[in-house]
Structure 1
Amino acid sequence: MQTQELTNLLKNRAINPTAMRLLVLDKLMQSNVALSLADLEFEMDQADRITIYRTLKKFEENKLIHSIEDGTGSIKYAICESNCKCTPEYTHAHFHCTSCNQTFCLRKIHLPEITLPRNFKVDQTSFTLKGICDQCNA
């Protein structure tokens, strides 16, 4: 993706486009799987771990990415769709491959609407399917 396109994506989410933010966004945009902080740190070996973490948190706060707890003990991050509401009520499913350890967004599978008991408040939802992905199953 071109730098101007990445800059526009950041600006559309009210994020100041710094060099590090552009690099992290580019890595996330190039990936077809969710990436962990460790994945990004490995791919960007010259970057500071804390700076990458702060960048991810800024992206998440501004609903450019969402986090995924796939049961591996490592939070993964993936780009949100342009119309994403990023609310617990509007969550799509994820698939974690137990063979290659990759996590994929299943954007067409949404959680059903859930009615909670009175005075209950949802802060986070997670719906992760586990099994073997198409590449490992081939």
Structure 2
Amino acid sequence: MKKDTEKKLLDKKTTPTSMRILVFDFLEQQQTAMSLSEIEHHFYKADRVTIYRTLKTFEENGIVHSIQENNTTKYMLCHDGCDQETHKDRHLHFYCKMCKKTTCKEDFIIPKSERLEYRIDEIRFFAKGICENCMKESLQ
């Protein structure tokens, strides 16, 4: 697994340090976006600044995208072929008001237009509501 992670980081022009490997592997296991505090809690002996710098490097290199949620930034691995030039993050970010989790809803995608005479570098597509799991639980 470590060698696979190292290759993924090198493919994104990111030096695979121990902390970067650990953070990448942790984020790869998550189904929801995670805040710096949540990630830090998992690595309770790690330095907060090191984790923050790792996340910023990942964001700059197209490894994670950040999601602004209220006054908190959350991070999730990119799955849209992002790179250093641009994040191709064109799907809905959904915040559940019941379970307080943010997920990517890749079935809601903003179509890309090839005819634009301008360049869009970033789109923030965010919705709040009740997720499918909480809806099922509330119906029982």
TM bucket (normalised to shorter chain) is 0.7 to 0.9
CA distance in 1, matches of 2:42, 2:126: 25
Distance 1:111 1:54, change over 3 A: same
Matches within 5 A, 1:111-122: 111-113=110-112
Gaps spanning 5+ residues in structure 1: where? none
* Count of paired positions: 134
Deviation at 1:89, TM superposition (A): 6.8
Q: TM-score, normalization: structure 1?
A: 0.85
Query: Residue 45 of structure 2: SS of its match in structure 1?
Result: coil
Q: Is structure 2 residue 42 aligned with structure 1 residue 49?
A: no
Q: What is the CA–CA distance in structure 1 between the aligned matches of 2:95 and 2:86, rounded to whole Å?
A: 21
Q: Give the 3-state SS of the residue equivalent to 1:130 in structure 2.
A: strand
| Pairing 1:79–2:67 present | no
The 5 Å alignment of 1:1-138 reads 2-70=1-69, 72-81=70-79, 83-84=81-82, 87=86, 91-113=90-112, 124-138=122-136
CA RMSD of aligned residues (A): 2.4
Deviations along 1:15-64, one digit per CA (max 9) or x if unpaired, are 11111001110110000001110110111101111000000000010001
Amino acid at match of 1:76: K
C-alpha deviation, 1:76, in angstroms: 0.6
- Counterpart of 1:45 in 2: which secondary structure? coil
TM-score (norm 2): 0.84
Q: Percent identity?
A: 39
| Stretches of structure 2 lacking an aligned partner (at least 5 in a row) | none
Runs of 4+ with >3 A deviation: 84-90, 120-124
